[in-house]
Amino acid sequence: MTTVLPETAPGPEAYEAAFDAAVAADERIEPRDWMPDAYRATLVRQIAQHAHSEIIGMQPEANWITRAPSLRRKAILMAKVQDEAGHGLYLYSAAETLGVGRDELLDKLHSGRQKYSSIFNYPTLTWADVGAIGWLVDGAAITNQVPLCRCSYGPYARAMVRVCKEESFHQRQGYELLLELSRGTEEQHAMAQDAVDRWWWPSLMMFGPPDDESAHSAQSMAWKIKRHSNDELRQRFVDICVPQAEALGLTLPDPDLTWNEETGHWDFGAIDWSEFKAVLKGNGPCNEQRITQRRLAHEEGAWVRDAAAAYAAKHAPGDNRTHRKEAASR
């Protein structure tokens, strides 16, 4: 082999330098480009976790599809849950460009070796939770994801452009749902306030641990996978939400929330990181339920997937007999 290579064959250092230069120049890294193993591994972990979150995230909302209080809201909610399945599909495709299969990733989700967003371990107890998820959870997700549209890895960045467009739409619908409740009957208003009270802090936790405790942040920022720190994005989210809550006629459950003239930001109270850690460790309100339902859906669907595979094998392209039969049946 060595004999056919020119003496100037690029060594690993040259590949690494080309990668670093591309990242520095804000160029996109594409699937066939050389990339450091750790970059690949970080992206697989992050994209897979993102995909899993879309799939697990269907559950708390699907919980209300059959009970939606008007046909219009039912249609909106069904469309939203359908979009989430679609986002999961885009993201698994993006992960597959890095050389992992969807089946492998799903297996890691089902066996607890890969995580999903901690927020989906909270229960949807009333209809207003559907609105709070739209406004706060999707709002936090968008704040996180908009910068990912400029992420250094091309397939992920492009998936995020599509995802963010749909998420923004969901977020507006969630806000509008809460507004309707807030301006509705006394009971509806109370339902909306209760939902915001329960979802506010978990939504702030969606940005991840504080900057000084975030294991992957520095490297991800250097690689331009992440563009802003957890705390920066969290602050941005709080600044957006405070006036929105006021417009909604709802309060945020934080007595320490105060406008800071000097910084030009809203100061907010301390997050209960012990709760965050407990949820991440699997001890949140719905961890067990969410993963069990996902596993069950997968296990109970095995015979369907087997049937599709067996049918495809029997009727593989090139089997003329099959094609004639199919054509005749049309």
Output the CA torsion sign for 204, 138, 192, 276: negative
Cβ–Cβ under 8 Å, residues 194 and 185: no
| Count of alpha carbons within 13 angstroms of residue 105, beta-carbon side | 29
Closest CA to 12 of 37, 41, 30, 40: 37
Bridge partners for 260 per DSSP? 265
- Considering only the stretches 32-40, 75-83, 140-148, 233-241, report the one whose residues sit in contact with another protein under the rule CB under 8 A: 75-83
Q: How far is 314 from 310, CA to CA, in rounded Å? A: 6
Instruction: Quote the CA–CA distance of 269 and 143 in Å, as a whole number.
Output: 20
x/- track of binding to another protein for residues 279-308 (CB under 8 A): --------------x--xxx-xxxxxxxxx
Q: Is 8 in the site for another protein (CB under 8 A)?
A: no
Q: Is the Cβ of residue 62 or residue 142 nearer to another protein in the bound state?
A: 62
Cβ atoms of 114 and 132 within 8 Å: the answer is no
Of 16, 78, 190, 244, the residue at the interface with another protein (CB under 8 A) is 78
Whether the Cβ atoms of residue 126 and residue 67 lie closer than 8 Å to each other: no
Residue 101 in contact with another protein, rule: CB under 8 A: no
Closest separation in Å from C-beta 141 to another protein: 18
Asked if 125 touches another protein (CB under 8 A), the answer is no
Binds another protein by CB under 8 A, chosen from 27, 62, 169, 295: 62
Binding another protein (rule: CB under 8 A), the pick from 24, 41, 85, 222 is 85
* Binding segment (CB under 8 A) for another protein, from list 34-42, 88-96, 145-153, 260-268: 88-96
Q: Is 187 in the site for another protein (CB under 8 A)?
A: yes
Range in contact with another protein (rule: CB under 8 A) among 41-49, 184-192, 208-216, 217-225: 184-192
Please report whether residue 323 would count as binding another protein according to CB under 8 A: no
Q: From the list 15, 65, 158, 244, which residue makes contact with another protein (rule: CB under 8 A)?
A: 65
Provide the CA 107 distance to its chain's centre, in angstroms: 18
Q: Which of 16, 33, 40, 86 binds another protein (CB under 8 A)?
A: 86
**Residue from 15, 33, 45, 79 that binds another protein (CB under 8 A)?**
79
Task: Assess contact for 29 and 19: CB atoms under 8 A.
Answer: yes
Is 82 a residue that touches another protein (CB under 8 A)? yes
- Residue whose C-alpha is closest to residue 234's, from 139, 300, 321: 139
Write a three-state SS string for 271-319: CCHHHHHHHHHHHCCCHHHHHHHHHHHHHHCHHHHHHHHHHHHHCCCCC
Judged by beta carbon, residue 101 or residue 301, the one nearer another protein is: 301
Residues 160-179 contacting another protein, CB under 8 A? 177
Among 73, 170, 226, 234, binds another protein (CB under 8 A): 73
User: Cβ 71 to another protein, closest distance in Å?
Assistant: 5
Q: How far apart are CA 295 and CA 187, in angstroms?
A: 37
- CA of residue 72 relative to chain centroid, distance: 26
Inter-CA distances, 203 with 114, 132, 200, 237, 272, Å? 21, 10, 5, 10, 12
Q: Does 180 bind another protein (CB under 8 A)?
A: yes
Q: Is residue 1 a contact point for another protein (CB under 8 A)? A: no
Binding status of residue 321 toward another protein by CB under 8 A: no
Interface contacts to another protein, rule CB under 8 A: 55, 58-59, 62, 65-75, 78-79, 81-82, 85-86, 88-89, 92, 127, 177, 180-181, 184-185, 187-188, 293, 296-298, 300-312, 314-315, 325, 329
